[in-house]
Every structure is written in C-alpha cells, then in structure tokens.
C-alpha cells in the first residue's frame, strides 16, 4: 500500500467558524464596495477573502463528513 507524503491535518470547529465568518464578511464587503463605487482592487480583495472563507468552510465540512 502506498503511503501518502502529506501529513493529515485535522480541521477543528474553530476553523469552520472562521471560514463561515470570512465567507460572509468577504461577500458582504464586496457587495458593499460595489454599492459605494470602491476601486476594483478593493472589491476583488474582499471577494477573494469570501471565496477563501468558503473554501475553508467546505474543507471543514468535507473533513467532518469523512469521520
């Protein structure tokens, strides 16, 4: 059986909460930036935070489902 080179990382519930908060905050910030006519880079930065938060929340959920 082949062994994985990668160490298994256990994602906790705190990271799930952090991911949810980052996703909500990032997406709300991007929408608020669009409504306030902010610069495109600021809107994209907020959107990127939202996407990374969503990815973190999904990763935690998938890891919980494997238990």
Q: What is the mean pLDDT of residues 24-51?
A: 94
Cα 33 versus chain centre, distance = 19
Between 6 and 54, name the one with better pLDDT: 54
pLDDT (tens digit per residue) in 1-16: 556 676 766 778 899 9
User: What pLDDT score does 66 carry?
Assistant: 82
Residue 3 DSSP code: P
- Asked if 49 and 17 touch (Cβ cutoff 8 Å), the reply is no
CA distances from residue 66 to 8, 48, 62 in whole angstroms, order as listed = 13, 27, 6
Domain boundaries, the chain: 13-65
% of the chain with per-residue pLDDT over 70: 90
N- to C-terminal Cα distance for the chain? 21
Listed residue (19, 17, 49, 20) closest to 33, CA to CA: 49
Between 8 and 46, name the one with better pLDDT: 46
Position 17 pLDDT exceeds 80: yes
């Amino acid at each position: 059986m082949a062994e994985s080179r990668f160490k298994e990382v256990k994602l906790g519930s705190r990271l799930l909460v952090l991911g949810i908060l980052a996703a909500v905050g990032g997406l709300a910030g991007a929408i608020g930036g669009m409504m306030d006519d902010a610069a495109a880079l600021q809107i994209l930065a907020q959107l990127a935070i939202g996407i990374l938060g969503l990815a973190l929340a999904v990763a935690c959920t998938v890891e919980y489902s494997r238990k």
